[in-house]
Amino acid sequence: MNITFTPVDDIYYGVEEYVRPVANIAIKYDAFLQITCVILNTFNTYSEHIVQDVQKALKLYEEYRIRDMEETARNDYVLFSQKVYNFYWTVVDEEFGRQIRDNRQELYYKKKLRYPDNRLHRYRGILFEEIVSAAVRDRFHGSLFCTGCRIHIDHVQVLARYGEGGASHKETIDVAGWNNLAKYGEFYECKVNPKRFGIENYKFFIELKSRLDQNGIPEYVIALASADAKEHLKAQKEYIESCMENEEKGCVIAFTLIGREDLFELLNYTIPDIV
């Protein structure tokens, strides 16, 4: 079986400078990951005082969650807090909007990134995707790894149709890794808010699982990862299944749910031994 990934998602300005540094330090500690997730879900709408509110929240977490950690972690938290603060300060700043316009003009107008609320929404999502990516990427070093990509299995694209008459389609996954020697893959859809996981995402999972099973892949991970608590992911999965209950038989499948309390465990996933 042959699997390939094709990156197709838009490339956003400033990810390397302002987003990835937050992800890279957040995955060092479970507490940092959970704090990041709570902040992303809490401070999700622009206001004139959002940066100050984020700063206050970070100080409170330092007082009540970090102070009893070891010295190295406390020192790292100072750096972590500064990077989270810089992320919010930058994303809502008008100068950053102008920089996006100068560097990604078509995307700037298409996604209406002139407005700080739109920038905040989009870059929060990018940050969470970068966190999942940072937790997964290393174990696929030397193998296939991609973000925001199409998946082709034996040269046939994985694609899910939905909507009236199948007029719409879903064709990408947020984070994907594949080790061809072990015949093992991991596939993640990333949502800050699990309510944004819709029927199109579920149907894509159905199609991907079917294709992997048809090819006799013994072990793989298909997962919804979210910055919210796992109980809310379960509720959304059940809601989508209830919406699909009148559709064709076999539309309900099992897949992994990764809430914010489970994210740190992503670092401990391992590729099966190569037979």
Within a domain: 2: no
What per-residue string of b and e applies to 201-220 under the rule 16 or more CB within 10 Å gives b?
bbbbbbbbbebbeeeebeeb
User: Does residue 259 share a domain with residue 146?
Assistant: yes
HSE value, Cβ hemisphere, 13 Å, CA-based, for 56: 7
User: Does residue 197 share a domain with residue 253?
Assistant: yes
pLDDT digits 0-9 by tens, 227-268 = 999 999 999 999 999 988 766 555 789 999 999 999 999 999
Q: Provide the strand spans (E) within the chain.
A: 3-7, 144-153, 156-157, 160-162, 168-170, 173-179, 184-191, 219-226, 256-258
State the average pLDDT over residues 133-146.
Answer: 96
Does residue 13 carry a pLDDT above 80?
A: yes
Pairing of strands 160-162, 168-170: antiparallel
Query: Tokens 């048809």 identify what position?
Result: 214
For residue 107, give every residue at least 6 positions away whose Cβ sits within 8 Å of its Cβ, in sequence order, or none. 10, 12, 13, 100, 113
Q: Is 176 helix (H, G, I), strand (E, B) or coil?
A: strand
- Where does a domain end: 114, 135, 156? 135
Total tally of structural domains belonging to the chain: 2
Q: Provide the strand spans (E) within 154-202.
A: 156-157, 160-162, 168-170, 173-179, 184-191
User: Does residue 151 share a domain with residue 121?
Assistant: no
pLDDT given for residue 57 in this prediction: 97
- Where does a domain end: 117, 135, 153? 135
Within a domain: 52: yes
Instruction: Write out the two tokens for 40.
Output: 């992303």
Within a domain: 1: no
State the average pLDDT over residues 183-200.
Answer: 96
Stated pTM of the model:
0.95
Within a domain: 54: yes
pLDDT given for residue 244 in this prediction: 84
- Where does a domain end: 105, 135, 165? 135
User: Does residue 260 share a domain with residue 170?
Assistant: yes
Within a domain: 233: yes
Instruction: Write out the two tokens for 255.
Output: 């897949």
- Where in the sequence is the domain holding 45, given as residue range(s)? 11-135
Does residue 191 carry a pLDDT above 80?
A: yes
Angle at 273 between CA 269 and CA 275, to 5 degrees: 155
pLDDT given for residue 273 in this prediction: 76
User: Does residue 107 share a domain with residue 88?
Assistant: yes
Angle at 56 between CA 55 and CA 61, to 5 degrees: 100
Confidence of residue 272 (pLDDT cuts 50, 70, 90): confident
Does residue 109 carry a pLDDT above 70?
A: yes
User: Does residue 149 share a domain with residue 113?
Assistant: no
pLDDT digits 0-9 by tens, 49-88 = 999 999 999 999 999 899 999 999 999 999 999 999 999 9
Confidence of residue 275 (pLDDT cuts 50, 70, 90): very low
Query: From the CA atom positions of the chain, what is the Rg in Å?
Result: 19
pLDDT given for residue 1 in this prediction: 86
User: Does residue 186 share a domain with residue 78?
Assistant: no
User: Does residue 174 share a domain with residue 128?
Assistant: no
Within a domain: 4: no
For residue 91, give every residue at least 6 positions away whose Cβ sits within 8 Å of its Cβ, in sequence order, or none. 18, 116, 119, 120, 123
Does residue 167 carry a pLDDT above 50?
A: yes
Within a domain: 5: no
User: Does residue 99 share a domain with residue 45?
Assistant: yes
User: Does residue 168 share a domain with residue 125?
Assistant: no
What is the residue-averaged pLDDT of the chain?
94
User: Does residue 93 share a domain with residue 61?
Assistant: yes
139 DSSP β-pair partners = none
User: Does residue 97 share a domain with residue 21?
Assistant: yes
Within a domain: 262: yes
Whole-number Cα distances in Å, 177 to 134, 163, 241: 12, 29, 27
